[in-house]
Amino acid sequence: MNNIQLAAAQIVQQVLVDGRNLNQVLDESLRRKSAWTPSQRAALQDLSYGTLRFYGQLNSMLDLLLHKPMTDSRITYLLLVALYQLQYSRAAQHAVVDHAVRSAGTLNPKIRGLVNAILRNFLRSAPDLLVQAALAPVGRYNHPEWWIDETRNQYDEEVSALILEAGNGHPPMTLRVNRRLGTTAAYLAQMSEQGILARQIGPDALQLEKPLPVDKLPGFFEGLVSVQDAGAQFAAKLLDVRSGMRVLDACAAPGGKAAHILELADVELVALDKDEKRLLRVKENLQRLGLVATLLTGDAASPADWWDGKLFDRILADVPCSASGVVRRHPDIKWLRRKEDIASFAIQQAEILQSLWGILAREGLLLYATCSIFRQENQEVVNGFLAKNPEARQVDLPESQLLPNDQHDGFFYALLQKTA
C-alpha cells in the first residue's frame, strides 16, 4: 500500500502544483509500474481520483490538524491521500497509518513521528474535524470558492447545492446500444442472462448497476454497444439526422457522438478535430463499430483551411468548454480551472459557432453543445450569436440545460436553424 500511497501523492501533487491533466499523469505512472496487478492499478486510480474529488474537505481538515504548514510538500500530499483513505476507503485504519508512516520515512525519516501523530489525531477527532471543515464553502462542497459563487449566482440555493454535490459523486456507467446491430431490449436481456444488472434510461441508453470493464460486456468488441453518458446521447437525436444528409461533427474526438449519428442514419459524415492524435480515437471507435466517416484534421473556427465547399445539412458543434458539467468524471478540472477561463472559452465558442454557420445549408440545423453548467458558455453565447445573425432561429427544445444527476452528466444544447 505504501508504494500506492506514494504514487498517488505524486500524481495529486503534479495535478495541483504543476497543473497537469489527471488522466495523463495517471497513465504515465501506470506505464512505469507495468508489473502492478490489476487491483493495485485500480487502487492507484481510486486514491488519485478520490483525493482530488474531496480535496477541499481533506485540505481543510489537514490545515486544522497542522500547527504550521509542512516544509516538505511531498508529505502534505501523502497526508491528503492517507486522509482520503481513512475517511472514504474500506482499508484497515491501522494499515493506512502504518503505510503512510513508512512512506514518509522513505521521503524524510525525521518526519515519521509527525505523520503518525497527525493521522492518529485525525482518527480521534474526525467527527469534529468534518464539522469544522464544512463551515467553509470549499470544505463543504469540494469546489473552488469562485466556482461555488458562480453556481450560486446562476441557480437557486437548492439547485446549486445539488449541482455541487453531484460534482463530487461517482459517475454512472451508461451504454449506448448500436441499433444497427440490435435493440435495446434484446441487449438488456443478453446482459441479464450473464448476470449483469442494468436498466434502460433512454431510447438507446442502458445504465449499469455497477461499472464493468468493457471486456466483460457481451459483444463490446463486435460493436454491439459503446460506453457513452446518457446526456451525451441527446446530441445525435436532437440533430435529427436523416439518411442521405451531409453531416459535420466538429470537434469530434473521441467519436462517441459521431458514431451515434452513423448508427441512426445513413449519412455522409465528416468528423473534424484539430488534434490529430485525438482523431485516431475517432477512427478506432468507428472501426470497432463497423462505421465509415471522412476524418479531417482542422480547426472548426477556420473552415477555409479544410472545407471542400459543399454545404452541410446538419452540423454538430460540440465546442471546447470548461467541462463544468463532467467534473465527477474529471475531478482535476475543478481545481485547474480559473474564473477567467470561462470568458476565454466563451470567446472561442462564439468564434467557432459563427465560422461553422457559414458552411450550413439553408434550412439546415446546427446543434451547439457544451458539457458546461455555466450560462456564459451556453445561452449567453447563443444569444450573442442570434443578435448578429437574423437568419438564425433557435428551435425550442424540451430541455436545453441538463444538470448532472444520477442518470447523466451536465450538458447544454441549443438547436439553431438557418431560415431561408
Tell me the mean pLDDT in the region 403-410. 97
Question: What percent of the chain has pLDDT above 70?
Answer: 100
| pLDDT the model gives residue 1 | 58
Q: Is 67's pLDDT higher than 90?
A: no
Cα separation, 357 vs 344, in Å, equals 20
E strands, 102-183, are 174-177
Find the length of the chain.
420
Q: Cell 449519428 identifies what position?
A: 261
Q: Is the per-residue pLDDT at 154 higher than 90?
A: yes
Residue with cell 485525525: 122
Is the pLDDT at 268 greater than 90, yes or no?
A: yes
| C-beta contacts of 289-295 below 8 A and 24+ residues apart | 289/178, 289/223, 289/226, 289/259, 289/262, 289/263, 290/180, 290/223, 291/259, 291/262, 291/263, 292/262, 293/249, 293/258, 293/262, 293/269, 294/268, 294/269, 294/270, 295/271
Name which of 66, 57, 58 is nearest 9 in CA terms: 58
- The SS3 assignment for 205 reads strand
Q: Dump pLDDT digits (tens) for 161-204.
A: 999 999 999 999 999 999 999 999 999 999 999 999 999 999 99
Q: Walk me through the domains of the chain, giving residue ranges and CATH numbers.
A: 2-139 (1.10.940.10), 174-227 (3.30.70.1170), 234-418 (3.40.50.150)
Summarised one tens digit per residue, pLDDT across range 94-149 is 999 999 999 999 999 999 999 999 999 999 999 999 999 999 999 999 999 999 99
Q: How many CA atoms within 13 Å lie on the side-chain side of 223?
A: 16
pLDDT band at 35 (very low <50, low <70, confident <90, very high): confident
C-alpha cell at 106: 522513505
Confidence of residue 33 (pLDDT cuts 50, 70, 90): confident
Q: Give 375's DSSP letter.
A: G
Per-residue pLDDT band for 347 (boundaries 50, 70, 90) equals very high
Pairing of strands 174-177, 225-227: antiparallel
Question: 8-12, 50-54, 105-109, 340-344: which has the minimum mean pLDDT?
Answer: 105-109
The whole-number pLDDT of residue 2 equals 61
Tell me the β-bridge partners of 316: 249, 367
Percent of the chain whose pLDDT exceeds 90: 97
Inter-axis angle of helices 157-166 and 145-154, to 10 degrees?
Answer: 140
Contact between 310 and 364 under an 8 Å Cβ cutoff? The reply is: no
Cell of 243: 439518411
Q: Which three cell numbers, joined as nine digits, stand for 300?
A: 472548426
pTM: 0.95
Active site residue 371: yes
Rg of the Cα atoms in the chain: 23
* Identified catalytic residue from 58, 252, 291, 371: 371
pLDDT at 408: 97
Q: State how beta strands 246-250 and 268-273 pair.
A: parallel
Beta strands in 190-274 (DSSP E): 198-200, 205-208, 225-227, 246-250, 268-273
Sign of CA dihedral 206, 212, 213, 217: negative
pLDDT band, residue 420 (cuts 50/70/90): confident
Cell numbers 462564439 label which residue? Answer: 350
Mean pLDDT of the chain: 96
Amino acid found at 65: L
**The pLDDT of residue 34 is above 90:** no
How far apart CA 374 and CA 157 sit, in angstroms, is 15
Q: Which of 402, 396, 341, 340 is nearest to 369 (CA)?
A: 402
Q: Kindly report whether the peptide bond that precedes residue 172 is cis, defined as omega within 30 degrees of 0.
A: no
